[in-house]
A and B are shown apart, each in its own frame.
Chain A
């Protein structure tokens, strides 16, 4: 079993839709959780960063971590065409600086 599994996608939604992106992980020692956004032909950029369980909101984006079920989610409200990108989840135990990434899901928001 991969340490981090991410829905393979791709995902296509109409503008204005609520988008739910999900990852599961197997290592209960993971403590820190991140979502990266990667536009085509660019490097990933950090979008959201959370520690342990709970929700974190930033504008139209909400990151949710449920450690009991080892589930990570990113919600995008009122999705825009500019949200079209690949989204990668990532996590680490905190023991060192290595991150474990999901494979990424490509989102397309149709105008």
Chain B
């Protein structure tokens, strides 16, 4: 079974703090993704990565950055957290080629106060 893990299930941070969300997958997948999920807005893609050190902006990259130094790990960084970044953050991975089946982690519920 593919396993995607995220470093925290729940996180509370203060406005202006730098926040790191970590994601690790154990299936040697090439592609990894960060989404946020909000009621009424659905899943929105923040950033994705096709390979180590590669990154592409998604639909809502503003206020976020990412890092992929190793194939299995994809980090999402909030440089200066704001209250409008309170959300559920979901990481996903997929193997690439002709497979489009994304496997999601359990999510991190981030609250910025």
Which residues in A have some Cβ–Cβ distance to B below 8 Å?
32, 34, 36, 41-46, 49, 88, 90, 92, 94, 96-99, 101-104
Shortest Cβ distance from residue A44 to the other chain B in the assembled complex, whole angstroms: 5
Residues of B within 8 A of A49 (CB): 100-101
Contact B102 A46 (CB under 8 A): yes
Residues of A within 8 A of B102 (CB): 46, 90, 97, 99
Residues of A within 8 A of B4 (CB): 43
CA of A96 to CA of B102, assembled, Å:
12
Instruction: Return 24 A-B CB contacts under 8 Å, by A number.
Output: A34-B100, A36-B104, A41-B107, A42-B107, A43-B4, A43-B90, A43-B92, A43-B104, A43-B106, A44-B90, A46-B101, A49-B100, A88-B42, A88-B43, A92-B100, A94-B98, A94-B100, A97-B33, A97-B48, A97-B96, A97-B100, A97-B102, A98-B45, A103-B40
Shortest Cβ distance from residue A6 to the other chain B in the assembled complex, whole angstroms: 8
B42, B103, B106: the one within 8 Å of A46 (CB): B103
Residues of B within 8 A of A88 (CB): 42-43
Number of interface residues of B (CB under 8 A): 25
CA of A90 to CA of B107, assembled, Å:
18
Q: Of all chain B residues, which has the CB nearest A104? A: B42
Given contacts A34-B101, A43-B106, A46-B101, contact A97 B94 (CB under 8 A): yes
CA of A36 to CA of B103, assembled, Å:
10
Given contacts A34-B100, A49-B101, contact A98 B42 (CB under 8 A): no
Shortest Cβ distance from residue A25 to the other chain B in the assembled complex, whole angstroms: 14
CA of A44 to CA of B100, assembled, Å:
14
Contact B48 A43 (CB under 8 A): no
Residues of A within 8 A of B31 (CB): 97
Residues of B within 8 A of A92 (CB): 100
Contact B43 A101 (CB under 8 A): yes
Given contacts A43-B90, A44-B90, A88-B43, contact A99 B100 (CB under 8 A): yes
Shortest Cβ distance from residue A89 to the other chain B in the assembled complex, whole angstroms: 10
User: 1/0 per position for B42-69, CB-CB distance to A under 8 A?
Assistant: 1101001010000000100000000000
CA of A42 to CA of B101, assembled, Å:
17
